[in-house]
Amino acid sequence: MLTILGFAMIATFLVLIMLKKMSPIAALVLIPALFCVFVGKGAKLGDYVLDGVTSLAPTAAMLMFAIVYFGVMIDVGLFDPIVRGILRFCKADPLRIVIGTAVLAAVVSLDGDGSTTFMITVSAMYPLYKRLKMSLVVMTGVAAMANGVMNTLPWGGPTARAATALKLDAGDIFVPMIPALAAGLLFVFALAYVLGRRERKRLGVLTLDEVLVEEPEPETVLVGGGSGKSDGKGAGSGGGDRATAVRTGGAGSGTDADAPEDEEDGLQGLDPQRPTLRPRLYWFNALFTVALLTAMIMEWLPIPVLFLLGAALALTVNFPHMPDQKARLGAHAENVLNVSGMVFAAAVFTGVLQGTGMVDHMAKWLVDNIPDGMGPHMAFVTGVLSIPLTYFMSNDGFYFGILPVLAEAGHAHGVSSLEIARASLVGQPLHMSSPLVPAVYVLVGMAKVEFGDHTRFVVKWAALTSLVVLGAGILFGII
């Protein structure tokens, strides 16, 4: 009976959030509470919830302050030189532009929020793709895959969800996975190189004076209004002529001496005049961020403590006045509330699933139906299953509904929960293009790409990236 109710609870949860009949937070709270009553243990619901909240509080704190920290770093301009450097590197060479897209998306993904990553990446790169007539699905595909690999950072979501669902430390899951994830990221860069060469072959290498021309249709101003400047420059320098693809001796080898200035002024994506910039504190912020990430990897302090201290110090140094601090906290409050609220709501779901014994009965049923030869390889099975399951369901559904069952099944065959948790991250490169991920709509919307076109292009490459991560994990003995 508990087995049936357990699967029914998970199925109800998945159906409601995939059909968008309930928000993940509401579903994580109300559905398990209702099923707890059905099981006949409604009187113990409070104990289940409090036990879950107590165990999940460090994870929620980590996510809250990591979002604040990296949000502040973006506000003060820590990543602005990186964006400008990538634009200078790209010039008008399609190969460099695609590689630059992958690098920029990977770097900005350090903030752990897919929507922010896609906004910054598209804002910086869209004018280049548009004016060179490059394929925009290449931009969206490469950005989504790079973000998918980097989304496995402890504060990105999946790792925190895995740690939450299995009551593990996020650092113990993530740090050993770094070599496998690095292999996946290198594969994305290699794929960007291949796709860039394809675009270069199709278009040739253009010079900046040929591409900084007026577009026949107005462009949407993205972040910082860079497109507006581009149109102005184009109107003055191009005379309305269309850009034509001509081959040159190398990337950015045009003869116009003012080309670098045009590139800086006409194709800049971030607002260089926003009032939150702190140029005098740039090196402090850069070194402090490096030190913070080093401390996280070396595990000098628990990750929640590191980001709590980091966010407090970053706010105090960059915004010493209270009104400014409140404004920055308010600017990032929505992301903080959504993520931390999800973690605490998950305490109800995981608490009921485990406290009532449903997960044990479900795991026993699953173990009884797994061939004996596959039991010791549950980590591999989890990695393979994570690719389609995290695409067709949300991370909430997979990590809170499916992963605990797989972990229990693996435990019965001597496979540790840590191995299962690490393998569960394999599907993230494909997950970031799932129709259930809100950030992907930010990506395709700003890039003016049809979601169907993006899906047809990215699915095969993202699935291959996931398999590379899985293979590297097995090769390095991580999974």
- The pLDDT tens digits of the residues spanning 141-184 come to 999 999 999 988 887 778 888 988 888 888 888 888 999 999 99
Q: What is the pLDDT of residue 281?
A: 93
- Give the model confidence (pLDDT) of 301-357 as tens digits: 888 898 899 999 999 999 999 999 999 999 888 767 766 777 788 778 878 887 888
At position 328, the amino acid (one-letter code) is R
Phi-psi region of 448 (alpha: psi -120 to 50; beta: other; left: phi over 0): left
**Element containing residue 151 per DSSP (H, E):** none
**Tokens 């191995």 correspond to what residue?**
419
Q: Give the residue from 173, 57, 165, 167 showing the smallest Cα distance to 400.
A: 165
Q: What is the pLDDT of residue 347?
A: 79
Structure tokens at 329: 């906290």
Tell me: pLDDT of 209 over 60.
no
Q: What is the rounded distance in angstroms from the CA atom of residue 313 to the CA atom of residue 331?
A: 18
Task: Mention every residue, 6+ apart, whose C-beta is less than 8 A from residue 77.
Answer: 274, 276, 277, 278, 279, 282
Q: What is the rounded distance in angstroms from the CA atom of residue 134 to the CA atom of residue 90?
A: 13
Most confident of 25-39, 117-131, 324-338: 25-39
DSSP state of 44: G
Q: State what percent of residues in the chain have pLDDT above 90.
A: 24
Mean pLDDT of 85-89: 73
Higher pLDDT, 78 or 452: 78
Tell me: pLDDT of 24 over 60.
yes
**Tokens 């594969």 correspond to what residue?**
187
Task: Mention every residue, 6+ apart, whose C-beta is less than 8 A from residue 299.
Answer: 171, 175
Tell me: pLDDT of 213 over 50.
no
Mean pLDDT of 378-393: 85
Average pLDDT, the chain: 78
- Give the model confidence (pLDDT) of 408-462 as tens digits: 888 878 888 899 999 999 999 999 887 767 678 778 877 888 877 888 899 899 9
Q: What is the pLDDT of residue 367?
A: 57
Q: For the whole model, what pTM was predicted?
A: 0.62
Q: What is the dihedral of CA 412, 413, 419, 420, to 10 degrees?
A: -60
Q: What is the rounded distance in angstroms from the CA atom of residue 314 to the CA atom of residue 133?
A: 41
C-alpha dist (Å) from residue 349 to 6, 13, 28, 475: 11, 10, 5, 35
Let me know if 138 is exposed, middle or buried by CB neighbors in 10 A (0-12, 13-18, 19+).
buried
Q: What is the pLDDT of residue 233?
A: 38
- The answer to whether 401 and 358 are in contact (CB under 8 A) is no
Higher pLDDT, 174 or 220: 174
Q: What is the pLDDT of residue 236?
A: 36
Q: What is the pLDDT of residue 389?
A: 81
Tell me: pLDDT of 256 over 60.
no
pLDDT band with cut points at 50, 70 and 90 for residue 472: very high
What separation, in Å, do the N-terminal and C-terminal C-alpha atoms of the chain show? 34
Q: State what percent of residues in the chain have pLDDT above 70.
A: 81
Q: Give the residue from 174, 152, 92 showing the smallest Cα distance to 125.
A: 92
- The answer to whether 459 and 41 are in contact (CB under 8 A) is no
Range with the lowest mean pLDDT among 121-125, 169-173, 402-406?
A: 121-125
- The answer to whether 128 and 134 are in contact (CB under 8 A) is yes
- Give the model confidence (pLDDT) of 134-143 as tens digits: 899 999 999 9
DSSP letters for 63-99: HHHHHHHHHHHHHTTTTHHHHHHHHHHHTT-HHHHHH
The alpha-carbon radius of gyration of the chain (Å, integer) is 24
CB atoms within 10 A of CB 467: 19
DSSP state of 314: H
Q: What is the pLDDT of residue 444?
A: 82
